[in-house]
Structure 1
Amino acid sequence: MTSELLVADIGGTNVRFAIASINDENDISLNNINMCPTENWLYLEDAVNDYLSHVGKRPARASIAFAGPVNSDLVTMTNGTWEFKQSELASYLNMEEVKVMNDYCAHACSMPLLKGDQLVQIGGGEVAENGNMVVLGPGTGVGVGALVSVGDKWKAVASEGGHVGFSASGDLEKEINRIIADEYHRVSIEEMVSGRGISNIYYALGIINGTHNLRLHPAEINKMASDDNDPDSVQAIKIFSGMLGSFASDMAGTFNATGGVYLAGGVLPKLKDFFLDSNFREKFEENEKLPFVKDIETHLIMEEYPALFGAAAYYSGMFL
C-alpha cells in the first residue's frame, strides 16, 4: 500500500515542495516538485495552499522542514521573516496532521537513504557501521544536523551549530577575521562559511591585496573565478573551502560522527569543481586534538532535494 503526504523544505531564500509517496517497504518517491523564492509569500500557509491548489490535491498529512529552531509552539525563521504556531498549522492547512522539524533534522534523516551518484566522496576515510553521522550545509546560513544511532533506529538531532564562534587558522584567516570583526559584534561561522561568507572573504581580500573589492554576490564571484580566473575570486573560494574543512572537523568531533560527514546546502554544488580541488580535506584532518577524524569519510551531497527525502523518511519506522 502506498501513502502520500506533502513534504516541504522551507529556507531563507527558497521554498521547495513535493508530494511524497511511501510504500510498505519505506521506498520514497517525490512528485510534483516545485521550487520558488521564499519572498513570494508573506506566510507559510499561503505558500502551501498555493502549491496544493496548483497540484490539485491535498494530502491528509504534511512533513515540513523549516530553517529555524523548532523548540516551541512558535517557530521563527532564522534568516527570514516567516513565523507560525505549530499547533495551528493542521487547521490552517485543512489537514489531519502536520509535523514540523528543523531543516537540518530533515537533511540528517536523508543520510541513510543516499547512495551512488547522489554522493561524491572527498578524500579517504571509512564509515563505521551504525556510527553517528553529521550533515553541514552552507547556504543562506549554515545548517547543522546529526543522526545518532540508538539500537536499530536513528535519532535525528537539530542544531544551530552555524552560530558558533569562528576560529581562524593561519595568518591569512586571522587577517580576514580581523577585517570582518570590525563590522560584527561577534564573528560566527555563518559569517565565513555561507554564501555571504564568500562575499565577506572576497571583500576582505580586496583590502589585504589592495584590489578594493566590493561585496559581490557569491554567484558573481564564482562566475569571475570560472570565466576569468580572477585571482581574488579563486582565492576566496579556496579559503572558504578550507574554513569549511576546519568547521566540518569540529562538528565531526562534536557529534563523534564516525558514520561520516555529509555536505549539503545550496552553495557547494555551484562551486563543485573548485571545491573538489580545494584543501577542504587537508583542513578537515589537521586538528591535532581530534586525530580520529582522519579516519572519517566526507561526502558532498549531489542529490538536489535531500531535505524533501528526509522529511518524507521522518514518517517511516527508521527514526525515534
Structure 2
Amino acid sequence: MNSDTTTHNALVADIGGTNARFALIGPGQHQPSDILTLAVADYSSIESAIRDYLRQINYLGSLQQACLAIACPVAQDYISMTNSGWSFSKTELGRALKLERLEVINDYAAQAYAIPHLDDSDLVKVGAGESFIGQPIALLGPGTGLGVGGLVPSASGATAIITEGGHVDFAPTNALEIEILNYLWRHHSHVSVERVLSGMGLTNLHLALASIRGQQQESLTPDQISHAALEQQDPLCLEVLECFCAILGSVAGNTALTLGAQGGVYIAGGIIPRMVEFFANSEFRSRFEAKGRFRNYLHATPTYVVTASQPGLLGSAAVLRQPMALSGR
C-alpha cells in the first residue's frame, strides 16, 4: 500500500467491538481505498490505531476530514464503546489529528447510508416481496453485538435512524424459546435480543440448549459452533444455528413493523453473510412473516443479506459527501 499523495485526504472507519476497519477517500470519490483491518484489542486507544493505520499504509499527506462509524451511542462528545475498552472525546480527537471536520456516527448509520450504494451483486434476497420506492428500510446486524437501524428517504436526502434495538427484551415465540429465556434469566437480570443474536448469543444458545437437552455443557466459541454445525453436522450445534436464524426472523419482523420498513429489511453483520445458504433455507423468512393479521404486510416486504465486503466504509464515505454535519446520528 502506498498513499503518499494528498489526493486521498479523508479517513473513513468502521469500528466494532472486535475489528477496526480503516480506509481513505479523495474528493468526489465513492469507493474507499487502502483498506486495512486492525484488531481493536491490539491498541490502547482509537488515536493510536489511526496513527498506526496511517503508518502502515505509508500515508504522507495531510488529513482534512474523517468519518468514524462506531458501535455505540455517539450523541455526546465523550464516546465510550459498548463492546471494547476504547473511549475518547470527539473534540480532543479532532484536535489531535488536526482535522477540519470530524464526523462520528453510529456504525449502523454507516451501514444504512451504504444501502443505496450497493449493487445487486452485494445482496442476496431471501424470500418474496419487492421494495416500495421511497419507504423506510430496516437494517439488523448480528456480530460482536446486535446492531439495529434504518434509513428514511426524503426529498432532501436519506436520514439514518439510529437505535439501540439490540437491547430490547428477548420475546420467546414458542415453548423451546421460553425454556431458553428461563435458562438465560438464571445468569442475566435482563435478557436482551443481543444475548441470543450475536457472537456471544451463539455461545449462550449452545449452553442453554445443552442444558435443556440434558447434554454436557461446553463453552464453545461462535466459530467453533458454526464449524461444528455446517462442516461436521453436529446435531446440537445445528439446532443452535436453527434457533438463531428463527429468532432473528422474529426480531427482524418486529423491526420491520416498528419502522414501517416496506423499503426492505437488510441483514448485515459478521455472522449471517458467512452462512447465506443455511440462512436462506432456515426458518428466518417464515418467522419474519409470522405476525398474525400482518402476515400479508410482511410477505410483501423483501429481506436481503448484505454480502458486500465493507459496507460500513462505503456508508462513512457517503456521509462525508454530504455538506451538513451528521455527528450524533
1:53 corresponds to which of 55, 68, 74: 55
- The answer to whether 1:5 aligns with 2:7 is no
Q: In structure 2, what is the equivalent of residue 32 of structure 1?
A: 34
1:316 shift after superposition = 2.3
Q: In structure 2, what is the equivalent of residue 147 of structure 1?
A: 151
Q: In structure 2, what is the equivalent of residue 218 of structure 1?
A: 222
Q: Match of 1:103, as an amino acid?
A: D
Q: In structure 1, what is the equivalent of residue 274 of structure 2?
A: 270
1:59 shift after superposition = 2.4
- The answer to whether 1:304 aligns with 2:309 is yes
> Structure 2: which 5+ runs fail to align?
1-6
C-alpha distance in structure 2 between counterparts of 1:56 and 1:264, whole Å: 31
Q: Match of 1:193, as an amino acid?
A: L
Q: Match of 2:198, as an amino acid?
A: S
Q: In structure 2, what is the equivalent of residue 44 of structure 1?
A: 46
Q: In structure 2, what is the equivalent of residue 236 of structure 1?
A: 240
Superposition RMSD in Å:
1.6
Q: In structure 1, what is the equivalent of residue 208 of structure 2?
A: 204
Alpha carbons of 1:72 and 1:22: their partners in 2 closer, same or farther (altered >3 Å)?
same
The question of whether the paired residues in 2 share the 8 Å contact of 1:122 and 1:297 is answered with yes
> Structure 1: which 5+ runs fail to align?
none
C-alpha distance in structure 2 between counterparts of 1:287 and 1:148, whole Å: 23
C-alpha distance in structure 1 between counterparts of 2:156 and 2:68, whole Å: 25
The question of whether the paired residues in 1 share the 8 Å contact of 2:63 and 2:98 is answered with no
Alpha carbons of 1:3 and 1:54: their partners in 2 closer, same or farther (altered >3 Å)?
closer
Corresponding residue pairs, total: 316
1:137 corresponds to which of 134, 138, 141: 141
- The answer to whether 1:20 aligns with 2:25 is yes
C-alpha distance in structure 2 between counterparts of 1:92 and 1:242, whole Å: 46
Question: TM-score normalised to the size of structure 2?
Answer: 0.92
Q: Match of 2:35, as an amino acid?
A: I
C-alpha distance in structure 1 between counterparts of 2:173 and 2:93, whole Å: 45
Alpha carbons of 1:137 and 1:318: their partners in 2 closer, same or farther (altered >3 Å)?
farther
SS in 1 for 2:231: helix
Q: In structure 2, what is the equivalent of residue 81 of structure 1?
A: 85
Q: Match of 1:8, as an amino acid?
A: A
Alpha carbons of 1:176 and 1:113: their partners in 2 closer, same or farther (altered >3 Å)?
same
C-alpha distance in structure 2 between counterparts of 1:262 and 1:36, whole Å: 26
1:60 shift after superposition = 1.0
Tell me whether 168-177 or 50-59 shows the greater mean CA deviation: 50-59
1:219 shift after superposition = 0.4
Higher strand fraction (1 or 2): 1
Q: Match of 1:277, as an amino acid?
A: N
Q: In structure 2, what is the equivalent of residue 254 of structure 1?
A: 258
SS in 2 for 1:109: helix
Q: In structure 1, what is the equivalent of residue 298 of structure 2?
A: 293
SS in 1 for 2:95: helix
The question of whether the paired residues in 1 share the 8 Å contact of 2:112 and 2:160 is answered with yes
Q: Match of 2:72, as an amino acid?
A: G
1:4 shift after superposition = 4.0
Q: Match of 1:52, as an amino acid?
A: L
Q: In structure 1, what is the equivalent of residue 103 of structure 2?
A: 99
Question: TM-score normalised to the size of structure 1?
Answer: 0.95
C-alpha distance in structure 2 between counterparts of 1:184 and 1:133, whole Å: 32
2:74 corresponds to which of 66, 70, 76: 70
2:164 corresponds to which of 160, 165, 180: 160
Alpha carbons of 1:252 and 1:90: their partners in 2 closer, same or farther (altered >3 Å)?
same
The question of whether the paired residues in 2 share the 8 Å contact of 1:153 and 1:318 is answered with no
1:218 shift after superposition = 0.9
Q: Deviations over 1:23-62 (max 9, x none)?
A: 2xxx511211101210010110110011112223342111
1:318 shift after superposition = 9.4
1:315 corresponds to which of 302, 317, 320: 320
SS in 2 for 1:137: strand
C-alpha distance in structure 2 between counterparts of 1:88 and 1:289, whole Å: 52
C-alpha distance in structure 2 between counterparts of 1:250 and 1:187, whole Å: 17
C-alpha distance in structure 2 between counterparts of 1:6 and 1:123, whole Å: 37
